[in-house]
Amino acid sequence: MKNPKSLRLVALAFLFYLPLSLALLPAVCAAESSKFRDEFITNYKTFQFKAQEKLIKKSGDIMEDEIFSLIIDAMDDDLTVGQRLFLLDAASAMAHGYEHYHGGGKKFIKKIDKLIKKELEKEKARMAELLKWEGEERFIGNFVMDAHAEEMEKEGLAPVIYPHWIHRIWYECSVCHQEVFVMKRWRNEISREKILAGQQCGACHNGDIAFGADEKDKCGLCHVAGKPEGKRLHDLDHIDHKRIAEVATRVGAEWNADKLPDGRLPVDRYGFIDWLALKENGIFKPIESLHGDYKPVIRDNQILFISKGKLENVLFSHNVHSSWIRCTSCHPAVFGEGLDNKVKMVRMSKGENCGYCHGKVSFTFADCKRCHSQEKGTEVEGALVHVGQPKKRKKK
Ligand code: HEC
Ligand code: HEC
Ligand code: HEC
Ligand code: HEC
Ligand code: HEC
Ligand code: HEC
């Protein structure tokens, strides 16, 4: 024990004046684990009851300090909920042991129980928040927008659903990215004021290209998250093909519903719209820009990623991607214009590299083979080879 007196003071403050002592926590969190704590936790983890009893019996004089300091360390901001609950459970066991063999543990037990209960409630609320829009956002590319939740609630309006998929039928990515929206969630600070000024959603939702955001009877078409009517935005059984075709004609896109297999949108194994099948079968042809003079710049090559794992190699088609997506949506925000970017699955799962779009707006990662499709050891004619960092791979 380094400085039991001051530790005890802080701990006392902690027990009785929680909010104040929380501010002091970082200073004491550095407290190192003690021999007693290490032994206690080892016994606790491995169910060594006999050894634990012996340890507690001989440690009566230091246990109050030990319990205090364990509680304090458990409340460290840097811990995960799981780590914190583990430490609090251990502290609770320590306090029960102290009460049983020496008396005087009751005050700790009560406090620890309260902390554990609070921690569990916080976790429950966090999970509920995460799952709140699960139905709406389950459909790839549907985003619930609720940055101004309070103002919307005040006017009796639900949060907004922005459905990428329905817009994609009429509009190529290049229409919105990057002219109307930066390709990153929450970065555009979308607000009613800007929309009514003809920016953001208001670039189209102005009563001319699409229903206006100022039309009193249309608010509910966008402010629809959590409402049963919202189903048409995340349930393929509720699609209004006639309306999609009408809008397509109006905006200058194509929607040939008659070519749909069984009259339904084709889906992949995961139940998400298969855009490539739609494209290949000539079912849709979105417009590329709101301005007539736009010409897409296509980079007509492919890049082979030689897989370092067991899976097959990955072929990235610059041609396919750049026919939909502007160079500036990927370069330089997602990839540097070279063959030596760091590309790794862990990065992708965090929304970098290919994960910038895949799993968010484009097909999911679960579909390994759609990317890992090129037999290992075989070359792809004409393809450039990704070299990666830091060691440059020799081109064979
Ligand atoms: C009609 C407009 C529109 C079209 C077309 C469009 N997007 Fe978006 N996109 C948005 C909006 C709105 C956001 C959210 C911006 C925000 O929250 O600030 C967004 C965000 C994104 C994001 C960020 C996701 C994240 O989690 O950060 C990606 C990736 C994206 N779009 C990809 C695409 C791709 C790929 C296409 C074409 C297949 C496309 N978008 C077509 C409007 C559009
Ligand atoms: C590039 C033009 C464009 C932009 C930008 C745009 N939309 Fe749309 N949106 C349309 C068109 C066209 C329709 C079809 C309107 C109709 O049915 O008459 C539409 C329809 C919708 C629908 C209704 C879908 C349905 O079938 O009920 C929602 C919801 C929607 N947009 C939300 C948004 C939101 C939210 C934004 C901004 C974050 C946005 N849109 C930005 C063009 C756009
Ligand atoms: C085209 C879709 C669309 C339509 C139609 C629409 N809104 Fe919104 N509205 C939005 C989006 C997107 C936001 C920003 C969401 C966020 O907070 O993340 C928003 C935000 C708001 C807010 C929050 C305040 C703020 O500054 O952003 C209010 C209030 C609001 N809308 C009222 C209305 C009313 C009233 C109507 C009908 C007259 C309406 N909206 C129609 C898309 C729409
Ligand atoms: C969907 C994202 C995406 C789009 C859109 C895109 N690129 Fe790329 N680009 C990549 C990736 C991925 C690489 C390879 C990175 C690596 O191997 O480290 C790359 C590599 C490059 C390279 C080096 C290899 C080569 O092809 O010579 C250049 C130059 C480049 N891009 C230019 C462009 C231009 C110009 C456009 C628009 C016509 C464009 N890119 C559109 C993702 C994209
Ligand atoms: C800026 C967004 C974006 C990025 C970044 C991106 N993709 Fe895509 N990708 C798309 C879109 C959009 C499609 C169309 C299919 C869909 O949306 O489900 C697509 C389709 C594909 C396809 C099927 C079409 C084909 O070429 O055969 C493959 C494979 C693919 N992507 C691989 C990759 C790989 C590998 C990377 C990273 C090196 C990557 N993508 C990065 C947006 C993106
Ligand atoms: C959107 C395209 C895409 C999808 C989907 C995808 N991968 Fe990858 N994966 C890549 C690319 C690109 C690389 C980089 C190749 C390299 O340099 O090793 C890669 C690399 C890997 C590696 C090598 C080690 C590493 O971490 O970079 C493994 C292992 C791997 N992927 C496994 C998987 C598995 C398992 C799945 C399905 C659950 C999957 N991948 C789905 C594109 C994809």
With the most atoms of ligand 1 within 8 angstroms of its CB, the residue from 174, 183, 272 to mutate is 183
Cα separations (Å) of 205 from 128, 170, 174, 286? Answer: 32, 14, 18, 18
Residue in the structure block whose two tokens are 């501010």: 23
Ligand 5: list residues with CB < 6 Å.
275-276, 314, 316-317, 320-321, 324-325, 329-330, 334, 353-354, 356-358, 362-363, 370-371
CA 390 to the chain's CA centroid: 28
Measured CA to CA, the distance from residue 281 to residue 261 in angstroms comes to 10
CA 387 – ligand 6 centroid, Å: 15
Ligand 1 atom closest to the Cα of residue 170 is: 5
CA 156 – ligand 1 centroid, Å: 27
CA 145 – ligand 2 centroid, Å: 14
Spatial neighbors of 272 by CB under 8 A, at least 6 apart, are 139, 140, 363, 364
Q: Is the pLDDT of residue 117 over 90?
A: yes
Measured CA to CA, the distance from residue 317 to residue 231 in angstroms comes to 34
Query: Does the beta carbon of 184 sit less than 6 angstroms from any atom of ligand 1?
Result: yes
Q: Judging by beta carbons within 10 Å of its beta carbon (0-12, 13-18, 19+), is residue 236 exposed, middle or buried?
A: middle
pLDDT in tens, 200-257: 999 999 999 999 999 999 999 999 999 998 888 988 888 888 899 999 999 999 999 8
Q: Judging by beta carbons within 10 Å of its beta carbon (0-12, 13-18, 19+), is residue 3 exposed, middle or buried?
A: exposed
Ligand 2: list residues with CB < 6 Å.
160-163, 166-167, 170-171, 175-176, 180, 190, 200-201, 203-205, 209-211, 221-222, 232, 243, 247, 251
Closest residue CA from atom 3 of ligand 6: 371
With the most atoms of ligand 3 within 8 angstroms of its CB, the residue from 184, 192, 201 to mutate is 192
Long-range contacts at 59-66 (CB < 8 A, ≥ 24 apart):
60/98, 60/101, 60/102, 62/1, 62/36, 63/36, 63/94, 63/97, 63/98, 63/102, 64/8, 64/98, 64/104, 65/1, 65/4, 65/7, 65/8, 65/11, 66/34, 66/36, 66/37, 66/40, 66/94
Closest residue CA from atom 11 of ligand 4: 335
pLDDT in tens, 30-53: 346 899 999 999 999 888 999 999
Closest residue CA from atom 43 of ligand 3: 222
* Angle at alpha carbon of residue 192, lines to 217 and 360, rounded to 5°: 95
Closest residue CA from atom 37 of ligand 6: 368
Mean pLDDT across the stretch 287-316? 92
Q: Is the pLDDT of residue 26 over 80?
A: no
Among 263, 220, 262, residue whose Cα is nearest residue 239: 263
Closest residue CA from atom 43 of ligand 2: 204
pLDDT in tens, 333-369: 999 999 999 999 889 988 999 999 999 999 988 889 9
Ligand 4 atom closest to the Cα of residue 354 is: 12
Query: Does the beta carbon of 187 sit less than 6 angstroms from any atom of ligand 1?
Result: yes
Query: Does the beta carbon of 145 sit less than 6 angstroms from any atom of ligand 3?
Result: yes
Q: Is the pLDDT of residue 268 over 70?
A: yes
Q: Is the pLDDT of residue 9 over 90?
A: no
For the four alpha carbons of 50, 51, 57 and 58, in that order, the dihedral sign comes to positive
For the four alpha carbons of 336, 338, 341 and 344, in that order, the dihedral sign comes to positive
CA 302 – ligand 4 centroid, Å: 9
CB 66 within 8 A of CB 34: yes
CA 348 – ligand 6 centroid, Å: 8
Residue 12 confidence class, pLDDT cut points 50, 70, 90 = very low
Cα separations (Å) of 64 from 3, 50, 171, 189, 387? Answer: 14, 21, 67, 51, 59
Query: Does the beta carbon of 162 sit less than 6 angstroms from any atom of ligand 1?
Result: yes
Measured CA to CA, the distance from residue 12 to residue 10 in angstroms comes to 5
Closest ligand to C-alpha of residue 220 is: 3
CA 9 – ligand 4 centroid, Å: 60
Among 26, 58, 22, 20, residue whose Cα is nearest residue 39: 58
Q: Judging by beta carbons within 10 Å of its beta carbon (0-12, 13-18, 19+), is residue 344 exposed, middle or buried?
A: middle
Q: What percent of the chain has pLDDT over 70?
A: 90
